[in-house]
Amino acid sequence: MNETTPLSPSAPPTAGTPARGGFTAWPLLISLCGVLGVVALFLEGRPDANGSDFDYPVTAEDVLGLDHVPYRISGAVGYVLALLLIAAAVLWRHRVERRFPGSSGATAVSYGVIATAALVTLAYGWRGAVGNYLPTGAEGDTYDAEGLYNYYIMTDFSPYIAFIPLLASSYGLAWMAFRERLVSRGLGALSALFASALLIAVFVTGVPGLPSMVIVGLIVAGIWLAVGRSAITAVQS
């Protein structure tokens, strides 16, 4: 069966020969999501950011000294990211899932992106709230130190763990590469190894936010699909 032929939902897709090379623009939206994810993730303030001699534990009074601007920008960028993730999922649905309806890997990619968009909306909404309620923010007189401290705690790891569903998307790409032959094996292997390394790092270190680095993989995957050889980006005859 030709790799570009739509398949029945009951049969897994297969590809017999590699797709021809060339440039395809739409996967770069995936890379753009990765870039915005990196920007949004690291736009934050921490009480210990000014030196290594900071005294722990962090108290409510420490939070009062945070600059509201990074949180405000991070929240706004996070909202844009959530919308672009949904746009990427819609594009993936039209360009890949409908073309290869038997691909379970493509469905896993889509579900991971949609779940991430939902979590990003919540996590970066909270970040934006911190920027709004800090003493220098637009509504800086709304909450006392304890109230702000609670908001700060919610944003300590939530923007990082919001990207965990993308690990499912990574494994979906691996399935598409090795079982369904719809993307290159190099991309599939890299996706599976990267996702597995991040999970193992969590088990070893106990740090729940490490899988957030999967957003770097979005940048790589989008560029790889745009310029590489893949059945999902091959021109249909």
Q: How far apart (Å, rounded) are the C-alpha atoms in residues 12 and 100?
A: 9
Calculate the CA dihedral of residues 30, 33, 38, 40 and round it to 10 degrees: -170
The model carries a pTM of: 0.86
- Phi, psi (rounded to 5 degrees) for 52: -85, -5
pLDDT at 1 over 70: no
Q: For residue range 16-73, list pLDDT tens digits in order.
A: 444 455 789 999 999 999 999 999 999 988 776 555 566 678 888 888 888 999 999 9
CB 81 within 8 A of CB 41: no
Q: How far apart (Å, rounded) are the C-alpha atoms in residues 96 and 220?
A: 18
Q: How far apart (Å, rounded) are the C-alpha atoms in residues 169 and 74?
A: 24
What is the DSSP code (8-state) at residue 213?
A: G
Nearest to 96 by CA among 87, 104, 106, 86: 106
Per-residue pLDDT band for 7 (boundaries 50, 70, 90) equals: very low
